[in-house]
A and B are shown apart, each in its own frame.
Chain A
């Protein structure tokens, strides 16, 4: 079986800061990591590789040359091949243009070895869109399985897969045919710790680096900024209206006094809340 895992290198959003004046993201010093959700997808692919002999896992990313680090890391966990799709022409891509490029690259990969499963993350932590996965599936005409919490069974002979999928208000058990595209839900697994041998292998592994031609882009008008219907018109910091909390005076007061002061202030300034709470508390 051949599995492709789409990963993206993202700035660690828990460490990101916004420039106070220009309102731009300050990437300076912010570590670049593999999108955490993509690691779940990669781990799931590697688990399949562990139990199904003869499985190969190819990781694919589109991004700047530095994204090489993300691929090497994926290799260290046990992926077999890594492809970096990188070209200035891809810059500024939105999800439609991204899925076009990734779909093209997967078609190129297929020329060497047919693809049975594609994994993507549930969403990225920088763009947060959760759209690229479905987009790639549509373009490649793959059965789409999003928010998967568990792969219940996979029958390669019948080319049949059964998964659990998170839906609103419950879990769907879905059966479909491979090839399909799966996005994994968080909490479904945890990334393994690479062995020393795999670290060596990853550090030395030759990467395949594809520009737009190598990636099989047929219509250059569909990639990068040009191929992106959405236009960012404004970027701004969300919390301009910072109001400092009114502090309840805690100096030399007991917890009881603080609590009493809090309640009287709360109910004085928000009289409706009192009735509300009384109603709820029954």
Chain B
């Protein structure tokens, strides 16, 4: 006998967990399906957790969530081939509770989040892949899994199956994802004793540091690198647009290997032991690449809906927020005994528009295009900035005024004055 639920959630990442938790907490009959062995099993990535989005779902998450370090310092590096110029922002304010951002290990975090989902009363079933959405006319009425007797029905299905949602594609909710709309990120976890990490990064206790990097490390491709401190390990990675990888024929692995050899990065990793190498897609197409996010009997949340702010490397918070709001939509409609029609579920989109999620998505909607058209942001500028710093800092008998002139010329030589002005304008427009 096929079971029927109030809601089925596909996927147990941050988006799916947020949705399942919120629904179950409200007393709905919830089924969550995850294809992995357990939530987050294959997911050994370190990442940054933004407290705000989670607080709105589990206010006291700090009591038992597996958190690594709270961030007190952000570094931004612009790298040339053998140097970097950058900023540090370190604030004691970030050392005041409640902390704002944490590093986490996703495998552990997802497992914890999932245990909360179960405690809230949802039925969580792993190692089960949803193959298809079951439709009655145009309305989604359930799912079909890969197991014998795999049809399960629900009033609404929430797709939280991550980037490149095969289900949404199969159901015709969006087209094949465009390689220029996704970044391929690779990362590794490197183990180091806690004391080494603390002395290398000038931190103590649970304090942590993030380094964001742009420049020659991406070898001319649109992308960024990053390094986070966990309790006993460092997460290092780099991500570039999939289209660029395809075009440049650089393997992501080789890219990361070279990045680790950069003289500014290498000493930070010295004597560490690499634990795991993972690659994952990040949907970075932004607002313009978003699919339709709801319809009769279904909603899309998280990465599956392109909800990522690539500029600020925010994803999980958008995932959790969209998951929560989708759930709240269902709760509200159910309370009023309204069916999950497309017209009614439009409330999901409307509520989202009021949050930072949609506002940020819209704000940066031009960003992907500008970066794509201006690869010199990742090559020429880092080189020029670093050379400028080098010229000014090296004491070699040349007067400072001449040095300034040399720097100016080097910039204009690489890129016309108009080009420089144009770039500034484009970036300003993108951030506007």
- Chain A positions within 8 Å of B, measured between CB atoms, are 17, 19-22, 26, 28-29, 31, 33, 69, 193-197, 199-200, 203-204
Contact = CB atoms under 8 A, between A and B. Distances in A.
Given A28-B108, A31-B41, A196-B147, A20 B191 contact: yes
Contacts of B271: 20
7 contacts: A17-B275, A29-B275, A29-B276, A194-B147, A197-B149, A199-B125, A200-B125
B124 A203 contact: yes
B105 interface: yes
A211 B275 CA distance: 36
Contact of B105 (A28, A193, A194, A200): A28
B150 interface: yes
Nearest to B272: A20
B150 A29 contact: no
Interface string B291-318: 0000000000000000000000000000
A204 B145 CA distance: 19
Interface residues of B, number: 27
Given A195-B147, A195-B149, A196-B152, A29 B105 contact: yes
Interface of B: 3, 37-38, 41, 44, 105, 107-108, 123-125, 128, 145, 147-152, 189, 191, 193, 271-273, 275-276
A197 B271 CA distance: 50
Contacts of A19: 191, 273
Nearest to B151: A196
Given A193-B147, A196-B148, A196-B152, A69 B124 contact: no
Contacts of B37: 31, 33
Contacts of B189: 29
B44 A29 contact: yes
B107 A21 contact: no
B22 to A, nearest CB: 20
Contact of A26 (B3, B125, B150, B275): B275
A203 to B, nearest CB: 5
Given A21-B193, A196-B152, 15 more contacts: A17-B191, A19-B273, A20-B191, A20-B273, A28-B105, A29-B276, A31-B41, A33-B37, A194-B147, A196-B128, A196-B145, A196-B149, A196-B150, A200-B3, A203-B124
Contacts of B276: 29
Contacts of B272: 20
A98 B148 CA distance: 37
Nearest to A195: B148
B191 A26 contact: yes
Nearest to A19: B191
A20 B107 CA distance: 21
